[in-house]
Amino acid sequence: MMAETQRVSPPDPPAVARQEEPHHPLTRTEKRLRGVLLLGMASTAAVLLAKGPALPRADVLLGSTILFAGLSLLVVMGLCRR
């Protein structure tokens, strides 16, 4: 008779507790900068949506570039806070 072999899996590594960094509130300057960026992006989006077809192609390209740049700045600001 052949002896049955048992598979033994290696033990799971201990779970490492992820340390959360303390959350720092936004400073007054960061709040203002975010507000200016968001207002500028909102007004640009409103103009593009309202008058998009009537605008020259260059203006639509400029508005889209401004929206993309504002979004990029907001993402970079968020990443730098971590």
DSSP state of 81: T
21 inside domain: no
**Domain count of the chain?**
1
Q: Does residue 1 sit within a domain? A: no
Residue 73 lies in a domain: yes
Residues in the chain: 82
Task: State pTM to two decimals.
Answer: 0.61
Q: Dump pLDDT digits (tens) for 5-47.
A: 677 777 666 665 666 666 778 889 888 988 998 999 999 899 8
Structural domain for 38, as ranges = 28-80
